[in-house]
Amino acid sequence: MIHPRNILISPIITEKSSAQLQAQNSYSFKVSVNANKIEIKNAIERIFAVKVLSVNTIYMMGKPKRLGKYSGKRPDWKKAIVTLREGDKIADFEV
């Protein structure tokens, strides 16, 4: 079993996630590429002591980048949008 801190990499705090998603009681996280929805749900519930209703995941492809004649690609990553039960909040996201 993967430790919950290894599944959740970082929260995604943007204008959209702060205003629109929190109005729907949802939060977004950057998660491990190998994690599935059940592991993400269990990690959120164990770390923040909240009840998760649903988890939506999005596989984000890395963008191609260039520096002069050298070209490369940013790494691929996975985003999870987590919807919580009414009344539950994650205090770290509150502004």
CATH at residue 9: 3.30.70.330
The count of domains in the chain is 1
Measured CA to CA, the distance from residue 1 to residue 32 in angstroms comes to 14
Q: Which residue has the higher pLDDT, 58 or 1?
A: 58
pTM of this structure: 0.87
Handedness of CA 23, 93, 14, 26 (dihedral sign): negative
pLDDT band for 21, please (50, 70, 90 cuts): confident
- Overall average pLDDT of the 64-93 stretch: 92
Helix (H) or strand (E) holding 4: helix 4-7
What pLDDT shows up at residue 44? 95
Q: Domain residues for 15?
A: 4-86
Instruction: Please indicate, yes or no, if residue 94 is contained in any of the structural domains.
Output: no
Instruction: Please indicate, yes or no, if residue 93 is contained in any of the structural domains.
Output: no
Instruction: Please indicate, yes or no, if residue 95 is contained in any of the structural domains.
Output: no
Instruction: Please indicate, yes or no, if residue 75 is contained in any of the structural domains.
Output: yes
Instruction: Please indicate, yes or no, if residue 44 is contained in any of the structural domains.
Output: yes
- Overall average pLDDT of the 59-82 stretch: 96
